[in-house]
Structure 1
Amino acid sequence: MNTSGAPVRGQGLRLAPFRGLRYVPEQVGSLASVTSPPYDVVVRPDGLHHLESSDPHNIVRLILPQGGSPAERHRQAARTLTQWLTEGVLAPDPLPALYVYEQRAGDSLQRGVIGALALSPASEGVVLPHEDVMPDVVEDRADLMRTTAAHLEPLLFSYEGDGGPTGATAVIERVVERPALFATVTEDGVRHRLWAVTDPAEHAEIDSDLSLRQALIADGHHRWATYLRLQREQDAPGPWDFGLVLLVDTARHPLRVRAIHRLLHRLPVPDALRALDGLFRVRSVDGPLPLALGALAEAAAEGNAFLLAGDGRFHLVDRPDEHLLERTVREDRPAAWRALDATVLHSTLLDRVWGIPDSPDHIAYIHDTEAAIEQAERHGATAVLMHPVREETVRDLARQGVTMPRKSTSFGPKPATGLVLRSLETG
């Protein structure tokens, strides 16, 4: 594996233009009303209902279709996509393009390029995954992509550019001075703008720069595994050899790293605390939530730490017994991997102390902290609140070919789903 971060020219990233599928503004209430967060962020039924109710053409009807079985849900998504294309709700752009995408919220600004990324370099260490995946989720996403013959939402990839206005960044800086295809503000207050780049000379400029880069999968490990799986099913070269991604130069626009929390459906907080007796230090900490998270951050700076919630209080869990870690954490991984909170959570707490299977019946992965607490309190469950991992740790482990436990990180800001889609049939 290439671990230098600087592939030989021509062996790095290759981003191809495509004819994006986009909503026709005159056919929908507003562009903001048809967008959605990525599929795995829409975790609550009320959130799904809110999106479905915001506009009859909201993209959530494609990424999280409803039906009596997985197969029926995916067929429903395919029928809906076909109907929207027939009715002119969605339409392909006339020319293949790379798309410059901007997100702005207050002082926060992120810009990147959306395109169809060649999948072949993945085995050579050009695309760096950093998390394990769940086979059942890959199977579900694969069947949805196969049935709809579409990439419905871009993955978020980061790469380290030169830090200055050169290469792909130079193209982006020029393009954002031009009129955008559209601008919209989603209900979270984020302003989104999109531009189509159709000039072959600018494509070549971007390609020359990216051919020197490797990318970290910031968000979308399951969909990336799905891309690779579906590519292997094909008998000949074609559109399945590429996957829809957003590439962001983090030297120019650093990503924000947040934790993904766990909701343990069948474990009440009192039972969780009793099982920790003598194995971890457990302390009650004062709220409100920001204060409790501050206590978690202080403890995490010294070692493994977690915050349990669900009984109306906060419980700080830290200082694990060293002999317990020696017995439960595998030794054939780098020290940085062994020290991860997610490693200790899964290897020590879930597998050994609490004995909880890592399946959807037992564990939910929730990005929103308040939502995790609210669901735990509503259902008598335990929310395990995590402290985020540093991006440098994630990238260093990825370059060593070492994956973290699944759902260890949440990079953002994530691209809105619904602004540009990729059909595997129209290019």
Structure 2
Amino acid sequence: FDTVTADRLRLMDTCQAQFSQIFSLYSDPEMEIMTALEAGCSEKPFYEVRDADGGIHSIWPVTDKDILARVQELFKDNAVYIADGHHRYKTSLQYSQLIKDRQGELPAQSPYNYTMMYLCPMEDPGLKVLPTHRLVTLPDDVLPGLPSMDELADMLSAYFRLEEITGGSREIFLGEVLARMEEEILVKQDKSTMFGLYHAYEDRCFLLTLKKRASEIEALSHRPPALQDLDVVILSDLVVENVLGLKYERIEHDNLVRYFADPDEALDVAVKECVECENSLELLFLMNNTKVSQVKRVADEQLIMPHKATYFYPKLLTGLLLNKLIADEKVGPA
């Protein structure tokens, strides 16, 4: 990740601009801030563009000083949570320090003390957190041989109830598992941890439901409670590391866990690589989405979300808005 930040820092320094907003969240149950801003918008947007997925991105400038003062007042005691853009935020901090090292202390209203953010209320009905599915490659030197699905089920049964999904093609398996997960979590408000598991070599699909609370499981005891309850932590710490025996260093070194927003793409890759490689086993884990409330809890406890725990939608378009860093410009409240 340091490489990513270093590249961003060179880009910002060379171009004297910020190219992408930091996607941030705030709580506003009454939607007062959005109501105030919308009152300052014209009927037609200043600029509008359709992206490759068909999504429409619209921009309205708000210049009314009274409205801006009202928004500033509403934000004064409101916490802001970075949802997507931690590298961008870190880069902005580093660049501000770099300019100070070159020029000395900066005035409070220097543009180098500010960064560009997109602010979204947590309560916005259009905000979605989509799941990121995991394709785990299990090499044959980790466990004694590559486990069959029955052997794997025995290993997992200490922690999970397993239900096999049968009757149809693997695509039907996939759809059934995702539908069941959505039904249990969203419709029935079931708070149990639930995964889908596809064993590529045997073409079998299972629904896994955690038997106990995460706080009761020894393999998760080193994690703070706010992290213990995250599905991605239960998968990484309990399943991948404890049951399968894959350690973090090995995963990172050999790129043994890959991430997919599209479950169909993940399935295609799992099937293809299962055929091509005889020395490893491809296990596809289908995930539920992380809740915004979980993200807030983790941040409130001064903790960091695990890698690829959230996929906020809709995504912002890089380059749609640029923030030029003009040295003698004054920004922020007077």
Counterpart position of 1:359:
252
Q: Give the percent of matched residue pairs that are identical in Structure 1 and Structure 2.
A: 24
Counterpart position of 1:306:
195
- Call closer, same or farther: CA 1:298–1:179 in 2, change over 3 Å: closer
SS at match of 1:407: coil
CA RMSD of aligned residues (A): 3.3
| Aligned with residue 318 of structure 1, among 209, 224, 245 | 209
Measured against aligned partners, the alpha-carbon deviations of 1:45-80 in whole angstroms (never above 9, x if no partner) come to xxxxxxxxxxxxxxxxxxxxxxxxxxxxxxxxxxxx
Q: Does 1:327 pair with 2:218?
A: yes
Counterpart position of 2:62:
197
CA distance in 2, matches of 1:371, 1:383: 11
Counterpart position of 2:229:
339
Query: In the TM superposition, what are the counterparts of 1:7-406 in structure 2 within 5 Å?
Result: 134-164=1-31, 166=32, 168-235=33-100, 236-237=105-106, 238-253=110-125, 255-265=127-137, 271=147, 273=149, 274-275=151-152, 277-280=154-157, 281-286=161-166, 287-297=172-182, 301=190, 303-309=192-198, 311=200, 312-319=203-210, 326-331=217-222, 333-334=224-225, 336-354=226-244, 355-357=246-248, 358-359=251-252, 361-380=255-274, 381-406=282-307
- Call closer, same or farther: CA 1:400–1:377 in 2, change over 3 Å: same
CA distance in 2, matches of 1:254, 1:318: 29
Unaligned runs of 5+ in 1: 1-133
- Call closer, same or farther: CA 1:135–1:352 in 2, change over 3 Å: farther
CA distance in 2, matches of 1:203, 1:406: 36
Measured against aligned partners, the alpha-carbon deviations of 1:228-287 in whole angstroms (never above 9, x if no partner) come to 34334442334332222111123454521221222334559x648545533334443242
TM-superposed deviation, 1:169: 2.2
Instruction: State the TM-score, normalizing by the size of structure 1.
Output: 0.58
TM-superposed deviation, 1:214: 1.1
- Report if the CA contact (8 A) 1:285-1:295 is conserved: no
CA distance in 2, matches of 1:271, 1:141: 43
Unaligned runs of 5+ in 2: 141-145, 167-171, 275-281, 330-334
- Report if the CA contact (8 A) 1:305-1:317 is conserved: yes
* AA matched with 2:260: I
SS at match of 2:30: coil
- Call closer, same or farther: CA 1:379–1:152 in 2, change over 3 Å: farther
Higher Cα Rg: structure 1 or 2? 2
SS at match of 2:252: coil
Measured against aligned partners, the alpha-carbon deviations of 1:98-154 in whole angstroms (never above 9, x if no partner) come to xxxxxxxxxxxxxxxxxxxxxxxxxxxxxxxxxxxx555444544444454432211
Alignment length (residue pairs): 290
